Amino acid sequence: MRRREASTKVMAASTAVKPMTVETAEEIAAEEFARIVASHRPQVFRFLLSSLRDVDLAETLTQECFLKAHRNWNQFRGESSAMTWLMRIAINLQKDHWRNRRMQFWRQTRTNAVDLDEASEWLPNGERSAEQQMLAREQVAQVWQAVKGLSERQRTVFLLRYVEERELSEIAESTGLSEGTVKAHLSRALGKVRTELRGTR
Amino acid sequence: MNWREDLAGESPEKDFELEQALQHFKASIDAWSNAALSRPRMMTKAPVRQNWRPAAIWALGCLLAAASLTGAAYKMLHRQEMTKQAAQRSTEKPAAAARSIAQPTNALPEKKAPAATVRKLSTGAQDNAGGQDENLLASVNKDVSQQIPAAMEPLAQLMDSNGAQ
């Protein structure tokens, strides 16, 4: 919608002075897309990284996501937010990746996915005591363990909700599920996290 | 609606623990993602495509092809030359044989001609020769008889004087 508004504003401004040429419109669209890449790239990358636990693969799929978005930029009608649209592309790419890996089970594919312990090592440098840091690390490891046990759909929904902090409607739009289904998946995912947290106590 | 509100219905203790765990989880992923995004990228120089390799292969291939073609052409020409020479030799041999056979028959009249003329002339010449021989012999006899060694000179004088007497 913002895109539409911006383009209409630009069109209005430019028509007042001179008629907009195709080149000018393309330049504006390119600039707008560059802005979207700059603002949404970290989020798309973070979602893919948390889903795959593989930095290189996450980077590759992020690039592919924006490449695909750029190709279909003209088809983006602005009905949903650009972030929701990009997330949908990222989810589809991730699905394709897993499907391809399943199909190519005979191929020995090298994976750079880090194990859960390594993933749990990452913590922000806050003013915490060593004990607090250890506790936080333990909790992160437990959540990772629970996430590992989730189904693909539950994991996607869980990560979009609790890491990307997307609204339920946005998650529903990105995943192509109804809000009720999203809630159900979230509930099951949370239940598993709780069980994991309780289980280690 | 914030996800923290989702957890509002739970018991306070569990809510706090779960919320804290989820917060730590999000913070952990944020830190990892930021570190991964801001890590220094190793700009490895793209391997320069070694264009000389295919070029060298092409050149070598062309060279080999040219060499084989030249060799084949040379061999063919050489064979042609050999066959030509063989053909020439084979044509020359009968000719030479024929010539060698034909030469004596042709040469005989030439050679015989002087013989015939000799024969033809022999009768006349023999007559002449006979007269000449006689003359020659007479002169020789005369010369020989007249050439008297110095030691025999008195005897010769004696005979001359005896003859004169």
Contact at CB, B24 and A46, closer than 8 angstroms? no
Residue to substitute from A120, A140, A148, A183, interface B, most B β-carbons within 10 A: A140
Chain A interface includes B32 (CB < 8 A): yes
pLDDT at B78: 93
Q: Is the pLDDT of residue B89 over 90?
A: no
Q: What phi-psi label fits residue A107: left (phi over 0), alpha (psi between -120 and 50 degrees) or beta?
A: beta
Contact at CB, A139 and B20, closer than 8 angstroms? yes
pLDDT tens-digit readout, B125-144: 667 777 788 888 888 777 76
Confidence at B20, pLDDT banded by 50, 70, 90: confident
Chain A interface includes B20 (CB < 8 A): yes
Mean pLDDT on B68-94: 89
Mean pLDDT on B58-85: 93
Chain A interface includes B4 (CB < 8 A): no
What lies within 8 Å, CB to CB, of A20 at 6+ separation is A10, A11, A14
Nearest Cα of chain A lies from the Cα of B44 at a distance, in angstroms, of 15
- Residue type at A134? M
User: b or e along B48-67 (b: 16 or more beta carbons within 10 Å of the residue's beta carbon)?
Assistant: eeeeeeeeeeeeeeeeeeee
Of B43, B24, B33, the C-alpha closest to A62 is: B33
Mean pLDDT on B25-40: 88
Contact at CB, A162 and B18, closer than 8 angstroms? no
Could you state, in order of their start, the residue ranges of all structural domains in chain B? 1-31
Return the CATH number of the domain spanning residue range A1-112. Answer: 1.10.1740.10
pLDDT at B73: 94
pTM: 0.57
DSSP A79-129: SS-HHHHHHHHHHHHHHHHHHHHHHTTTS-----PPPHHHHHT-----S--
Nearest Cα of chain A lies from the Cα of B49 at a distance, in angstroms, of 24
Mean pLDDT on A173-186: 93
Distance from C-alpha of B68 to C-alpha of A96, rounded to nearest angstrom: 54
Q: Is the pLDDT of residue B55 over 80?
A: yes
Residues of A whose CB is below 8 A from B44: none
Return the CATH number of the domain spanning residue range A114-201. Answer: 1.10.10.10
Could you state, in order of their start, the residue ranges of all structural domains in chain A? 1-112, 114-201
* ipTM, interface predicted TM-score of the complex: 0.79
Residues of A whose CB is below 8 A from B24: 123, 136, 139-140, 143
